[in-house]
Amino acid sequence: MAEAHQAVNFMPSLTSDRGEVELSGPMWQEIYLSGLRSWKRHLLRFWNDFLTGVFPATPLSWLFLFSAIQLAWFLQLDPSLGLMEKIKELLPDWGGQHHRLRGVLAAALFASCLWGALIFTLHVALRLLLSYHGWLLEPHEAMSSTTKTWLALVRIFSGRHPVLFSYQRSLPRQPVPSVQDTVRKYLESVRPVLSDEDFDWTTGLAQEFLKLQASLLQWYLWLKSWWASNYVSDWWEEFVYLRSRNSLMVNSNYYMMDFLYVTPTPLQAARAGNAVHALLLYRHRLNRQEIPPYEKIFNTTRVPGVQKDYIRHLQDSRHVAVFHRGRFFRVGTHSQNGLLSPRALEQQFQRILDDPSPACPHEEHLAALTAAPRGMWAQVRKSLKTQAAQALEAVEGAAFFVSLAAEPAGLTREDPAASLDAYAHALLVGRGHDRWFDKSFTLIVFSNGKLGLSVEHSWADCPISGHMWEFTLATECFQLGYSADGHCKGHPDPTLPQPQRLQWDLPEQVHLSISLALRGAETLSSNVDCHVFPFSHFGKSFIKRCHLSPDSFVQMALQLAHFRDRGQFCLTYESAMTRLFLEGRTETVRSCTREACNFVRAMEDQEKTDPQCLALFRVAVEKHQALLKAAMCGQGVDRHLFALYIVSRFLHVQSPFLAQVHSEQWPLSTSQIPVQQTHLFDVHNYPDYVSSGGGFGPADDHGYGVSYIFMGDDMITFHISSKKSSTKTDSHRLGQHIEDALLDVASLFQAGQRLKRRRRGPGDEDSGHRRGFISNKTVDSKAPRTSTPADPFQ
């Protein structure tokens, strides 16, 4: 998602107004501290892992083993082959009357050693099994006998009821690729976007790097990969995110949208009540290790620092912080009987909506400080920590932040295209002061009942928050539901205390900072151009019938669309997950390949026939799939080069090649939002009840940010962003090019009469005659509506 912007701008985070910031400590110390941090996390988690049977054996298996040994001993059999007698000899002699106790202790110790050895064997076997990635390289239609055998062994060794961290210690470490392979792949990736002269110069830098610095930097990286859990993830979090001094708004946060065409209830407080309850149910399942994502979703805040932020995570929090019309409230989420019911939470939110008290001076815009540059906010926070510690702790220590917006949002029949764009803009930036950007996420509830999520990026990546969001939408709509009058089911609780209004004693010196932060946030907000359009001509079902990867299909269409928009090729960032490895996060797929460029040129060449274009398209898709699978297997380019650059900075080694690599911009940053829990939604009978995805800001001031989600089988929703200040970009223009490119590519497969091919050159005015096809097609058949659905699974 928004990580491309952070990846581009992490180099300035290593500098300050006084020059370069020296990285603290020598390289040996940094490797030691990386490992120490990893082991601390493992030790803190150990006891919980033991009780929940993470190894993947269970504590009951030890009891069974001990009982079997005792039974064998009673039958005068010695399964230890004399080892228990040796153990008894080593135990203290407490007298004849304790002879039986020594035997029991010897059996317990032998059982524990044997149990530990078996667990270690399972652990090693599972790690070796999970290191096999051959299944990624096989076609979906045909699974080899090797993969079938591997899958059966994984099921045998992994146990029957895995929980959140069951496989954590069995996951293999992310491998450090060969530096020669990485440099070769890098040069291959930049060849399509560089002139011959620039490419020769870059090749010279690369050869110099391989000759002079590569082996030393690679050795340190290899050493870290064996000592720490992951050779790159902790540095990625620190240098790409936490050391960035830019505003979090647009640069780091991203958003998730509600259902596109339906709103389960028009009552703002009711929707908030069900959504908050569903989120806390998700947290409850997370605490019980019943779901697979990540531990820092809740009770987490990114705390600003002068040079570096840090992530503060609490084990538990029994309240949420709520913002409404410039006022902050603390709303308890639990009573003595446990989690409050949705109706009780609705009651508390309605009390806030009905509260007529005005905001105190400067309180209304206080949250704009969290959208300010991080150094400035860190300095101001010191004053707040002294003068308004209780209120600040109530916000930062909350489970998450809730913003009750005073305006409606979502798709409207009157102006569907503009309303969707405004909805996306409201979720990405809002008013600049109506959410606490430091919190792991903010739940936004609009006055007409529409929902949305604004997520801070440093603690985890989009699939993690996406998993939570899918659960939330399905639970609050289908499982919790609403009564006929739109309220949450159940009864209010009049005994609950009123929500606590937070009091901010803001010192004078903070007032000017708030005004400056608000001005900066408003400037940044007004410069963002958001465009959202659902493409409903076809979806992933058509693409799969063509025996192609839906993601690769869209990526190649994006290359064609961007070329038509800008008349040139550019570096393209696509995020891929590396969750196959211990503490893996993401890797970059460089989608603008030589094969993709050949296909695009053929599509714009009137001399080329459809079969020729189709052949080039298939080659481009195969290349993209190979790059994607390599990235998922830890054989990408960018994370390795990033880690080598960080090592060079610690060692004070100057590398013009690495400096050149990390000065590159990403004019096109893309990401697919995966749908991970299809079992929660019935897309065939209830196709409207699917999340419409989310978006993020552009990585480059003259570039685009594009995300997309496959909604069901027959729709793709695109979220496009750019900067209004750039004369080179226009989100709506690119949206039209994307629609045209998808139709043109589909026409190569002779999909039907509706898929009429339209070839246009770069900058063709005819390609921008519509502001998105939604105004022509989608709203005619899909009017927005408010309804309370029946559970599709009953």
The answer to whether the CB of 423 falls within 8 A of the CB of 257 is yes
The single-letter DSSP state of residue 637 is: S
Return the amino acid letter for 90: L
The answer to whether 554 touches 540, Cβ cutoff 8 Å, is no
Query: Do residues 638 and 673 lie in contact, with contact meaning Cβ atoms separated by under 8 Å?
Result: no
What's the burial of 337, exposed, middle or buried (CB within 10 Å: 0-12/13-18/19+)?
A: exposed
Quote the CA–CA distance of 667 and 569 in Å, as a whole number. Answer: 9
Q: Residue 36 contacts by C-beta under 8 Å, 6 or more apart in sequence?
A: none
Site of tokens 């050159």: 761
Peptide bond into 56 cis (omega under 30): yes
**Token digits for 589?**
């797929």
* 328 closest CA partner among 253, 384, 386, 394: 394
Q: Which residues are catalytic?
A: 457
Which distant-in-sequence residues (6+ apart) come within 8 Å of 671 by Cβ? Answer: 1, 462, 574, 575, 696, 706, 707, 708
Q: Are 603 and 560 in contact (CB under 8 A)?
A: yes
User: Where does residue 481 fall: left (phi above 0), alpha (psi -120 to 50 degrees), or beta otherwise?
Assistant: left
Residues β-bridged to residue 445: 404, 451
Pairwise CA distance, residues 322 & 442, whole Å: 10
Tell me the chain's radius of gyration from C-alpha atoms.
28
Taking each helix axis from N to C terminus, what angle separates 594-603 and 550-566, rounded to the nearest 10 degrees? 60
- The pair of structure tokens assigned to 720 is 């496009």
Structure tokens at 105: 């202790």
Q: In angstroms, rounded to a whole number, what is the distance separating the alpha carbons of residues 727 and 445?
A: 34
